[in-house]
Structure 1
Amino acid sequence: MSNPTAPADAAQLKDIVAHAKEYGFVFQSSEIYDGLAAVYDYGPNGVELKNNLKRLWWEAMTQLHDNVVGLDAAIFMDPRTWEASGHVAGFNDPLIDNLDSKKRYRADVLLEEKAAEYEKAGDPARGAALTAEMGRLLTANDLAGVRQLIINEDILCPVSGTGKWTEVRQFNLMFSTQGSAVDSDAPPVYLRPETAQGIFVNFLNVQKSARQKIPFGIAQIGKAFRNEIVARQFIFRMREFEQMEMQFFVRPGTEGAWYDTWKAARRRFHEAVGLSPAKLRFHDHDKLAHYAKAAVDIEYEFPFGFKEIEGIHSRGDFDLTQHQTLSRKKQQYFDADIDPGTGKAYGNYIPFVVETSVGADRLFLATLCEAFAEETITEGEGEAQQTKTRTFLKLHPALAPIKAAIFPLVRKDGMPEKAQQIFDDLRFDFRVTVEEKDAIGKRYTRQDLIGTPFCIVVDGQTLEDDTVTVRDRDTRAQTRMPISALRAYIAEAVSFRRIFEKL
């Protein structure tokens, strides 16, 4: 018997971080050299979970939509790309230092955290007013006003506890490197700060080669790099991260309807992968980019509060127009469909864009936080009965790093060999493992801690009738079934179809 599973927010971030390291999900990069700040490596179980999330997103975009195709653009791009996009001149964070602690902070983050405090204290109107005022000041590039707002709100340095702040200044977030090994005067080449521009510069290449008609989308998964000064909260904010983006090109005038469509679709995706609806919310942007018509974040309630995991933006024709201007190459699309208002073809125009952009690492962290579960269970009977806390990862079976673990009950009597036969049969379809070491209870616990949905036990009866006991991770219920039924049983539970049906 057991008590209900504890909510995900009962776990502190430190518990998640410790679990991620101990069980092979995430390691600090270069840890033997004391680590590189805000850079992380994914371990054996982490890379499986992350790859499953990426593959799920990819297939949900390109397989379920006949008008979305894929792209894998290079990280290095012509430097003029970032001039056209505005990153060279305007990709900045407002930074402020505390004179006593010498610590550096993002001014907007300090204000956002203060607004979150008001919301938690039951005064959401005051928090919203603070966020709106911050947005107004940043839009006007009034950095002195931002500093004064911090002072007026009596925001103190978490380290020194004082409010002795420097002036606010802007810091460009792009990493740059030398563009030529032989020409020292060559312009710098940037590590891309976003993956979207690789899609925009390939708009016509993809449209023509894939024979797509408006509306259509281009999806991409790839690394991006930002020189974050304030990188924290584990893998939530990193200097090297992975984005899963889709740019959807539409006829001007239809972008509003498509924005609403993708906003709803993306919310359904996060619920389908297992994130609690109660822990998801939309947050409309108070500060819009000058080219944007609308922007909203899908936020998840992490142990450190609601934070963005995905953004949906109506970008207008800004990006393609900018690239057309700077490259002097037309980025127009010829639309042969008939405009019912004029009775003529729509003709040439630069499409508008609706963007969906989800952070693979943030989705990974949200999934890990959601799955981290603890429950009180009672084992044994009579005087031998004992109560203990069980910790496990309640991952959707389709996302679990390992789908099934096969346990010979003892390491003799032909049971290990039979377990190996089952492994050899299932390994072509699923990620499975064989484990022989320690008592069966300890083996269950190890698999629970990495989220394995099924444990298959080979015992004496197996050798007689080719049946095994299958133990369910979440309920701990045990079912006896023929070995011949295992493939279909596991396949039904771990299929992406179970998730796709909810979309």
Structure 2
Amino acid sequence: MNPASEPAQLKDIVAHAKEYGFVFQSSEIYDGLAAVYDYGPNGVELKNNLKRLWWEAMTQLNGNVVGIDAAIFMDPRTWEASGHIAGFNDPLIDNLDSKKRYRADVLLEEKAAEYENAGDPARGAALTAEMGRLLTANDLAGVRQLILDEKILCPVSKTGNWTEVRQFNLMFSTQGSAVDSDAPPVYLRPETAQGIFVNFLNVQKSARMKVPFGIAQIGKAFRNEIVARQFIFRMREFEQMEMQFFVRPGTEGEWYDTWKAARRRFHEALGLPAAKLRFHDHDKLAHYAKAAVDIEYEFPFGFKEMEGIHSRGDFDLTQHQNLSRKKQQYFDADIDPATGKAYGNYVPFVVETSVGADRLFLATMCNAFTEETITEGEGETLQTKTRTFLKLPPALAPVKAAIFPLVRKDGMPEKAQEIFDALKFDFRLVLEERDAIGKRYTRQDLIGTPFCIVVDGQTLEDETVTVRHRDSREQTRMPISELRAYIGEAVSFRRIFEQL
């Protein structure tokens, strides 16, 4: 995305993410690699916290969900069976004046969003539905005509001089063998789900799982996105958190509704406001899909997909069964009340939940980025200023507490170090001595640290410290002996899990 065209708030968040060690442009010293990003010291902690929270919510809170970590490289026939080699394409269109390339569906989605923002949601919905119809029919000429009818212009050249729409495969490929030049190419996986499907029976048998059960995975995926934009929202290398839930045929509708509700609760439990979340049912369904819905979050650039819930039927396992010639069936010994006999062998149906770790990270950052007007001082020294801080849930904050000696003398640094050493086994902490205490507070506010612990002269007398709270800026005096329990309660995942 052209930085000049980014919404003001997103530009502020991008700048903040770089300055305070959350996200950097990949290979920036070489002018950067487009649509690829690195997570800095604070970013990797926040992202790991999000991933760990998702993982434990899936595998720890649900007795019938287990995890795997499948390889990125897979037998190329995997992608033949899944349909990616033949049909994993984006509809692309070029502007002849600017020489810029765009995804045709994104141009139309943005036009639909314009109608919605202008108070005409019906027109936006109609446009989205027509686009879905044309793409489902693979009517690329119709898609181009729809762009022309809507008078959509290139953001750079401001003209509507468009080429024909054509399909472009999104998979990265590489040589599969260092010695055999005729070996078929292998692909960087475009999704993590197939690693779960090909391991269905391995997991079911080794973990002694009984349908219904799920397999969860967190891992990297790669897509050769032509239109990579909106910071880390759409990247060429990204991370997915997926769970495939295997169910008895005929029960998929019930489980789809169950997981749809559960996944929305998860995002709300993370602190994302209900008003900024919405369900968006797919207008264009894959030929094998029974139902599909996105959980969208209102980013600074509008409502966009953060997670998908899909009822996939038995398509994936059946495709792998047919191509591999290995049965992907489960024997269900439970009694079917309709027949009085065991359900027997069948290929399970699948309900999928798939959330982008990077998109969840961005939503969390957008929601946490806070600017408020505060007053400081009294009387003639009273002043008003803008305070910027990250209002992160304490459980997700990169640093849980910062420990400050008030001054660098009189035994205060040594006492601060003693407290740090006592708590570092339980929490990620920082110990800072430089600059005035107000500047140190500000630095921690900017990375979302929920607590600052100040060691002062009184600490040396009675073993108490001042705990300053990020959101309210209030200060509490408490014994050093109570810090572990106090911080531990505030930053525990349990407080989020209890809402699920």
Query: TM-score w.r.t. structure 2 length?
Result: 0.99
Partner of 1:177: 174
Provide the C-alpha distance between the structure 1 equivalents of 2:430 and 2:126, rounded to a whole number of angstroms: 54
Q: Equivalent residue of 1:446, what SS?
A: helix
- CA deviations on 1:436-456 (whole Å, 9 max, x unpaired) are 000000000000000000000
The CA deviation at 1:215 is: 0.1
Q: Equivalent residue of 1:75, what SS?
A: coil
- CA deviations on 1:98-121 (whole Å, 9 max, x unpaired) are 000000000000000000000011
Is this contact kept in 2: 1:242–1:359, CA < 8 A? Answer: yes
Is this contact kept in 1: 2:37–2:232, CA < 8 A? Answer: yes
Is this contact kept in 2: 1:61–1:68, CA < 8 A? Answer: yes
Is this contact kept in 2: 1:267–1:298, CA < 8 A? Answer: yes
Provide the C-alpha distance between the structure 2 equivalents of 1:134 and 1:28, rounded to a whole number of angstroms: 33
Is 1:320 the equivalent of 2:317?
yes
Provide the C-alpha distance between the structure 1 equivalents of 2:395 and 2:459, rounded to a whole number of angstroms: 27
Partner of 1:215: 212
Structure 1 residues 199-214: aligned runs within 5 Å: 199-214=196-211
Inter-CA distance 153–225: structure 2 relative to 1 (3 Å threshold): same
- CA deviations on 1:215-273 (whole Å, 9 max, x unpaired) are 00000000000000000000000000000000000000000000000000000000001
- CA deviations on 1:314-334 (whole Å, 9 max, x unpaired) are 000000000000000000000
Structure 1 residues 4-83: aligned runs within 5 Å: 12-83=9-80
Is 1:112 the equivalent of 2:112?
no
Is this contact kept in 2: 1:9–1:302, CA < 8 A? Answer: no
Q: Equivalent residue of 1:12, what SS?
A: helix
Provide the C-alpha distance between the structure 2 equivalents of 1:371 and 1:433, rounded to a whole number of angstroms: 21
Inter-CA distance 64–11: structure 2 relative to 1 (3 Å threshold): farther
Provide the C-alpha distance between the structure 2 equivalents of 1:125 and 1:42, rounded to a whole number of angstroms: 40
Provide the C-alpha distance between the structure 1 equivalents of 2:326 and 2:55, rounded to a whole number of angstroms: 30
Is this contact kept in 2: 1:8–1:371, CA < 8 A? Answer: no
The CA deviation at 1:385 is: 1.0
Inter-CA distance 431–211: structure 2 relative to 1 (3 Å threshold): same
Is this contact kept in 2: 1:11–1:372, CA < 8 A? Answer: no
Inter-CA distance 8–136: structure 2 relative to 1 (3 Å threshold): closer
Provide the C-alpha distance between the structure 2 equivalents of 1:98 and 1:15, rounded to a whole number of angstroms: 30
Provide the C-alpha distance between the structure 1 equivalents of 2:474 and 2:399, rounded to a whole number of angstroms: 19
* Percent of matched pairs sharing the same residue: 91
Is this contact kept in 2: 1:156–1:162, CA < 8 A? Answer: yes
- CA deviations on 1:275-301 (whole Å, 9 max, x unpaired) are 111100000000000000000000000
Provide the C-alpha distance between the structure 2 equivalents of 1:274 and 1:39, rounded to a whole number of angstroms: 27
Q: Equivalent residue of 2:372, what SS?
A: strand
The CA deviation at 1:10 is: 9.6
Partner of 1:94: 91
Provide the C-alpha distance between the structure 1 equivalents of 2:212 and 2:5, rounded to a whole number of angstroms: 39
Is this contact kept in 2: 1:8–1:370, CA < 8 A? Answer: no
Is this contact kept in 1: 2:6–2:230, CA < 8 A? Answer: no
The CA deviation at 1:8 is: 19
Is this contact kept in 1: 2:313–2:350, CA < 8 A? Answer: yes
Q: Equivalent residue of 2:413, what SS?
A: helix
- CA deviations on 1:16-64 (whole Å, 9 max, x unpaired) are 0000000000000000000000000000000000000000000000000
- Could you tell which deviates more after superposition, 375-384 or 73-82? 375-384
The CA deviation at 1:12 is: 1.1
Q: Equivalent residue of 2:295, what SS?
A: strand
Provide the C-alpha distance between the structure 2 equivalents of 1:399 and 1:121, rounded to a whole number of angstroms: 36
Question: How many residue pairs get matched?
Answer: 499
Is this contact kept in 2: 1:8–1:372, CA < 8 A? Answer: no
Provide the C-alpha distance between the structure 1 equivalents of 2:8 and 2:55, rounded to a whole number of angstroms: 30
- CA deviations on 1:192-221 (whole Å, 9 max, x unpaired) are 000000000000000000000000000000
Provide the C-alpha distance between the structure 1 equivalents of 2:121 and 2:28, rounded to a whole number of angstroms: 41
Provide the C-alpha distance between the structure 2 equivalents of 1:232 and 1:138, rounded to a whole number of angstroms: 22
Q: Equivalent residue of 1:36, what SS?
A: coil
The CA deviation at 1:9 is: 13
Is this contact kept in 2: 1:8–1:369, CA < 8 A? Answer: no
Q: Select the structure with the greater relative contact order (CA < 8 A; seq sep ≥ 6).
A: 1
Is this contact kept in 1: 2:7–2:301, CA < 8 A? Answer: no
Is this contact kept in 2: 1:99–1:165, CA < 8 A? Answer: yes
Provide the C-alpha distance between the structure 2 equivalents of 1:82 and 1:174, rounded to a whole number of angstroms: 10
- CA deviations on 1:80-137 (whole Å, 9 max, x unpaired) are 0000000000000000000000000000000000000000111111100000000000
The CA deviation at 1:11 is: 6.0
Provide the C-alpha distance between the structure 1 equivalents of 2:122 and 2:389, rounded to a whole number of angstroms: 39
Partner of 1:156: 153
Q: Equivalent residue of 1:205, what SS?
A: helix
Inter-CA distance 355–8: structure 2 relative to 1 (3 Å threshold): farther
Partner of 1:284: 281
Is this contact kept in 2: 1:26–1:40, CA < 8 A? Answer: yes
